[in-house]
Structure 1
Amino acid sequence: MLLGPPAVGKQTVAKKLSAELRAVHVTTDTLLQDQSELSVQAHQYTLTQQELPAELLITLIQQRLTEVDCFNRGWVLEGIPQTRLQALGLQQAGVVPEHVVMLEAPDDVLLERSEGKQVDPQTGDVYHQTFIWPVDDIVAQRLEKGPALSEKQQLAELQRFRCEVTGLRSAYQHVLKIINSDQPHNDVYQQVCVISVLAFVRTHHRPRTPRILLLGPPGSGKSHQARLLSEKYKMVDVCCGQLLRSVAADGSGLGEEIQPYLDDGRPVPDSLVLQVLEQRLSQVDCSCRGWILHGFPCDLQQAKSLQESQHQPNRVFFLELTEDVCLERLTLRATDPVSGERFHALTRPAPSFQVQNRLETRPEDSTHTVTHTLNQYRLHTAVLQSLYPDAVHIDADQDPHSVFEALESRLSTD
C-alpha cells in the first residue's frame, strides 16, 4: 500500500514500482473501469461527486485482489485506504499488506506541486516543472495542465488527510514506513524500493505468502500439524477431505455432483476436487494469509494439476513414518460416540471401563483399509518426491511438538 496526502507523488511512485515489480497497480479509478455490477454501482457515486461508502469500496478491493493477476503477481494499492475506518474494514476482510509506505511533505510543498501539475495525455503520467520533468522532449511537448482543485479545496483535502493520518499509522504500525517526499523523486523512489516488496523479490525466489503442502502417509500427523500451523500463524487450514464434505453439504450444484461419490465411498473425480480447491484457495483469506493444504495431491497427475494451477505451493514437507508406526497409530485408535473424544490403546487409553466398552473404530481405521491406503501412498511416493525435489523431509516418529518445531524452523528458509 502506498499512502499519503494529495500531490505527494503516490501515483508516480506506484506506477514505477508496479512496473518494475510486474505487480498490478490498483487505484480507485482502475476499480471502476470493469463492467461488473459492483463497479457500475460505485460509478454512480462518482458521477454525483459522492464519496464511495466504505463497505462498497472494501468489497470492490476484495473482489479485485482475488483475481488471477493480483494473486500471481502481487499488487500495489495506491491511495487506499484513506481513513482508519477503511483500513480496519480491509483488515477484517482479509486484505493485509506486506508493506505500507506513507509519503509525507510539508503543506506548502504539496500546494506548490498541485498548482504546477502537468499530465501526459497518452500515458496518464504526472509531471511537474520543478519536481519531476520528463527526460524525453517529445513527452514534454505534449504535456497538458492537469486538473487542479482550488486552493480552498486543496486545503480541505489536506486537512482531511491530517485528521486521518494518525489512525492510518496506528492501523498499519507493524508494517509502516514513512518517507519524506520533499526531496528529488529518484531519491524517494529508491527509498521506497529498499523498504518495500522489491527488496524481498530481489533476494527470494518464492512468494512471501506461505503456501504450504503437507504430504505423508496416513497417521503421520498432517492434520494435527496443519492445525498447529494455522493456530500460530493464522494461515488457512485446507484439509481436502473436510473441504469436499463441506461443499457437498452446502447445497450448491458442485456439492450435488460430489455427494454421490461420498455416499458410495468412491474417490471424487480429480476434475471436481480441483474445482473445489480452486474456489477455496482463491478466496481472500488464503491469498492474503497463506494456506496449508493436506489430503491432496495423492498421485502424480493430481500433483501436476496443482502445479499447473495458480496455486503452486512454495513450501513442501514430507512427514516420514514407517508402516509399522502408521498401523499402530491408526488401528489402535477409537472414538467415544458420547463425548466425541478420540482415544488410543497405547498413547491415550480410555479413562474408564465404561468408556472403553462404548468406543467405536472408524471403518477407515481397520487394518485392511489402512494397509491398502499405505500401499497406495508408497506406490506414488517416489514420483511425488521427484516432482518436489526441494521438499523438506521431517521425521514424524517423534512427539507432535518436536515435529512442529522442525516444520517451524524450515518455514523461512529457501
Structure 2
Amino acid sequence: MKIILLGPPGSGKGTQARFIIEKYGISGISTGDILRDEVKNKTELGLKAKEYMDAGKLVPDDLVIKMVEERLNKEGYVLDGFPRTLSQAKSLDKILDRINDRIDYVIYIDISEEEIIKRMSGRRICKDCGSVYHLLFNPPKVDGKCDLCEGELYQRDDDKEETIRKRLKVYEEDTKPLIKYYKDKGILRRVDGSKDIEEVKNTIEDIISNI
C-alpha cells in the first residue's frame, strides 16, 4: 500500500503515520527525518541541503524530491510531510508514472484552526527532564511545575498562538490546494481530526482495509 497523509500542523499526522507503519510493516517517509538523515550521513544531497538550512532558507523542491525518490519502494510506504505543494505533487506523479506505480489513498486529516490552536498552545514542557504536559488534556498537579522533578514548565516558541497562526497561514496557501488536486483524482479520503486519537486511527484502518 502507498499512502499520503495530509493535514495541517497539529492534526496528528505523525502519530497516525507511526500507527500505520507499526501495524502494516511498511516504510515511513518523512521529509523532516530524511533531511536529518542525509545531513547526518553527509551525503551529497545532505551537504547541499545543509547549505540552505544553515542559511535559514527552505530546501529547494528538486533536492527534497530527489531524497524522497530514493526512499520510494514497491512494498509500500506512508508519506508524511510530502508533498507540501502542488508542484511537489506533480513531480511525485511524474516519478510514479516513470516507475509504473501509484498512490492508493491520500488520507486528509481535517481539523479546524481553533482546535489546532487549543491543542498546540496548551502544551508545556519541563525545562529539566523534558516531560510534556497539556493545560487542558494532561495538566500538571501544581501549576507551572513538573510532577516528576518539580522543574519549571515552559511553552516552546513553536507552540505560541502567534507562531501557530503563521504556520497555518503557510499551510493554507501552499498545502491546501493539494486537497482539491487529489479529490479530483478520486483518491482523497477525509478523516475527522477533531475525534480522539483512537477514533481517528480506527477510521484510517477502515479506509486502508479497502485497498
Query: What range describes the TM-score normalised by the shorter chain of this pair?
Result: 0.7 to 0.9
Measure, in 1, the Cα distance between the counterparts of 2:56 and 2:192. Answer: 31
Deviation of the 1:250 alpha carbon = 1.1
Identity of aligned residues (%): 32
Instruction: Specify every segment of 5 or more residues in structure 1 that has no aligned partner in the other structure, as ranges.
Output: 1-209
2:68 maps to which residue?
277
2:85 maps to which residue?
299
Q: Secondary structure at the match of 1:388?
A: helix
TM-score when scaled to structure 1? 0.45
After superposition, the CA RMSD in angstroms is 2.0
Are 2:136 and 1:346 aligned? yes
Measure, in 1, the Cα distance between the counterparts of 2:176 and 2:9. Answer: 16
Verify the 8 A CA contact 1:306 1:312 in the aligned structure 2: no
Superposed CA deviations along residues 164-187 of structure 1, whole A, max 9, x for unmatched, are: xxxxxxxxxxxxxxxxxxxxxxxx
**Which protein shows a greater Rg?**
1
2:106 maps to which residue?
316
1:175 maps to which residue?
none
Deviation of the 1:270 alpha carbon = 0.5
Are 2:84 and 1:287 aligned? no
Structure 1 counterpart of 2:3, which letter? I
Superposed CA deviations along residues 270-305 of structure 1, whole A, max 9, x for unmatched, are: 011011111122xxxx432x1111111122111111
Instruction: Specify every segment of 5 or more residues in structure 2 that has no aligned partner in the other structure, as ranges.
Output: none
Deviation of the 1:337 alpha carbon = 4.4
Measure, in 2, the Cα distance between the counterparts of 1:276 and 1:252. Answer: 10
Shift of the 211–337 alpha-carbon distance from structure 1 to 2, 3 Å rule, reads: farther
Q: Secondary structure at the match of 1:319?
A: strand
Measure, in 2, the Cα distance between the counterparts of 1:350 and 1:242. Answer: 31
1:373 maps to which residue?
167
1:402 maps to which residue?
199
Superposed CA deviations along residues 323-346 of structure 1, whole A, max 9, x for unmatched, are: 001111112213334433322221
Measure, in 2, the Cα distance between the counterparts of 1:240 and 1:360. Answer: 28
1:411 maps to which residue?
208
Shift of the 253–383 alpha-carbon distance from structure 1 to 2, 3 Å rule, reads: same
The count of corresponding residues between Structure 1 and Structure 2 is 200
After the TM superposition, which residues 80-119 of structure 1 pair with which residues of structure 2 at under 5 Å, given as runs? none
Measure, in 1, the Cα distance between the counterparts of 2:158 and 2:39. Answer: 20
After the TM superposition, which residues 49-60 of structure 1 pair with which residues of structure 2 at under 5 Å, given as runs? none
Measure, in 2, the Cα distance between the counterparts of 1:411 and 1:375. Answer: 30
Measure, in 1, the Cα distance between the counterparts of 2:8 and 2:22. Answer: 23
Question: Which of 152, 166, 191 is the matching residue for 1:358?
Answer: 152
Measure, in 2, the Cα distance between the counterparts of 1:350 and 1:219. Answer: 21
Deviation of the 1:243 alpha carbon = 1.6
Measure, in 2, the Cα distance between the counterparts of 1:328 and 1:275. Answer: 36
Question: Which of 216, 223, 234 is the matching residue for 2:7?
Answer: 216
